[in-house]
Structure 1
Amino acid sequence: MRIEDVRRHLTTPLTGPAYPPVVPRFTDREYLNIVYRTDPDALRAVVPEPLRVAEPLVRFEVMRMGDVTGFGPYTEAGQAIEVSFEGERGEYLHAMYLDNFPATASGRELSAYPKVTGAPSLYVDSGTLVGALDHGSLRVATATMGYKHHELDEEAARAQITVPTFMLKSDPDYRGEPRVQELVRTEITDIRVKWAYTGPARLQLFAHALAPLADLPVLEVVSASHILTDLTLAPVEPVFDYLSSMS
């Protein structure tokens, strides 16, 4: 393979890449969102500067992807922390767990999504919407919400899931030193909210050494939503370079 051909391949393995070269479109992306209040000191311990924590709020989300171009259906769960950056309100993606390896690899390599493998699920049980996350054979999170109890205003639903998202991109060099270390920003675009509901909700987090969601403890459930959408994710853009700030 010629050098110029190698340069056109941006993923590995070279002749059988881990994920396809597509901009994914999400159709029937179904959310269960539980926003809860947590310990502000615990948040400050995990949110990187120059992001700022105002209200100590975390959104636990479970997302069932009905259809994603290039990846097919899969399920994802994680935590997003309310933050601000240079006066702009947004969320910092703290942790994400997926049951689809190509989507995990793509999210980490092409962007900065903090994705690792896990076993999330979203289903209805006796009139209750259930979002769960297992790590191996162990349960680390269980969220429950009354199934479609009250319609949620479409604009309120849209506002909840389209705030700017911030992530930390860290890539080491071959000596283990940081080669890229940036704070990046992205957002959801081209969104269509198909329906949205709210209802009573609860959230349990269980301590786990390698899936430490419970390090951000649930002190009070603030709100809950169940939303079905079609959407696209915008490419990330760097907004702060940690390596340049050292000089």
Structure 2
Amino acid sequence: MNSCTKLRGCVMTRPFSTPHVAPLYKALPYQYLGVRKISAYCRCDPDALRAFLPDEFELLGDVCEVFQLEAPDAGPLGHYSESGVVIPMTFDGTPGAHVALEYVSSDDSLAAGREIWGYPKKMAEVPFRSLENGGFESSTIRRGTTIISMKFTPGGDAFEKPVMQPRFQIKTFATADGTGWDLYQVIRNDLANVEVRDHQFGTVELELKGSDDDPLDRLGVESVIGAESTLIDFLLQGGRILKSLDAA
């Protein structure tokens, strides 16, 4: 295994990702500029949320975040949009949040997210647009079905948000013969150099439609306690391997 990476200030002698002659995504870090994100914070049935967490994580509270975002400049990943569900949790006593479902509009972002940090990304269309009233609307369309719809209007009340950073993910890869797993790791990912350029509380119209492949209907949403829109810059770096678990 080649241990030389650009993060350590040296030149790699092997490609960072496949295909070998033209890697799908480049080495870290990735500088994100002008990311617009709309979020709905939903009170849910705790038992429903718990079912979305890997066994290694403990649920923290009963509020999850449903988000949609547009990243117009993600460095070498270019322009893409994304959505997902984030659940507050703890690992070994440390609070953070787990991205339980995630949808993305580009193949390089999908592959990098899954292969580096273990984010559960799936391909989808995630159109995102500004509204004349200063709000935003976005939807997530997967295999021809709209599974998330959000319309954010500025001007809502402030509310208390759960802890949503750092992210804790499970990174796992199946063996080539399909009989088990090559690895099963707990990964921690922290954003760096975060700059909030705009923040607004607001109200949101939220619709979720689930299926066996995308079980958004099983979140047990009881109410929306608040919504926000943010515009941020940040640096996305490598994660930390906290624990390598038995993959057998």
TMscore range, shorter length: 0.7 to 0.9
Name the CA distance, whole Å, in 1 between partners of 2:80 and 2:158. Answer: 25
Among the aligned pairs, what percent are the same residue? Answer: 21
Corresponding position: 1:134 with 2:141: yes
Which residue pairs with 1:225 in the alignment? 228
Q: Do residues 205 (structure 1) and 208 (structure 2) align? A: yes
User: What is the CA-CA distance between 1:150 and the residue it aligns to?
Assistant: 5.8
Equivalent residue letter for 2:26 = P
Q: Secondary structure at the match of 2:242?
A: strand
Q: In structure 1, what is the equivalent of residue 192 of structure 2?
A: 189
User: Which has the larger displacement, 89-98 or 40-49?
Assistant: 40-49
SS in 1 for 2:72: strand
Cα deviations by residue, 1:58-111 (Å, 9 ceiling, x for unpaired): 111111002011121110001110111222221011011111111111111122
Query: Do the aligned residues in 1 keep the contact of 2:115 with 2:171 (CA within 8 Å)?
Result: no
Relative to structure 1, is the Cα distance of residues 242 and 79 closer, same or farther in structure 2, using a 3 angstrom cutoff? same
Pick closer, same or farther for the CA change 1:121–1:84 going to 2, 3 Å: same
Matched residue type, 2:175: D
Q: Residue 30 of structure 2 contacts residue 237 of structure 2 at CA under 8 Å; is this kept in 1?
A: no
Aligned equivalent of 2:31:
25
Matches within 5 A, 1:72-221: 72-125=78-131, 127=133, 128-146=135-153, 148-149=154-155, 163-176=165-178, 177-221=180-224
Amino acid at match of 1:175: D
Unpaired runs of 5+ residues, structure 2, are 1-11
Is contact 1:22–1:69 with CA below 8 Å preserved after alignment?
A: no
RMSD (CA atoms): 2.5
Q: Is the 8 A contact 2:124 2:142 kept in 1?
A: yes
Partner residue of 2:8? none
Q: Which whole-Å CA distance do the structure 2 matches of 1:137 and 1:212 have between them?
A: 16
- Aligned to 2:111, the other structure's residue is in SS state helix
Instruction: Tell me how far 1:170 sits from its aligned partner.
Output: 0.6
Question: What's the offset of the Cα at 1:178?
Answer: 1.0
**Do the aligned partners of 1:60 and 1:79 also contact (CA within 8 Å) in 2?**
yes
In the alignment, what sits opposite 1:11?
A: 17
Contact map agreement 1:197 1:227 (CA 8 A) in 2: yes
Shift, 1:141, TM fit:
0.9
Q: How many residues align?
A: 236
Post-superposition offset of 1:188? 1.1
Q: Distance in 2 between matches of 1:120 and 1:215?
A: 21
Q: Which has the higher helix share?
A: 1
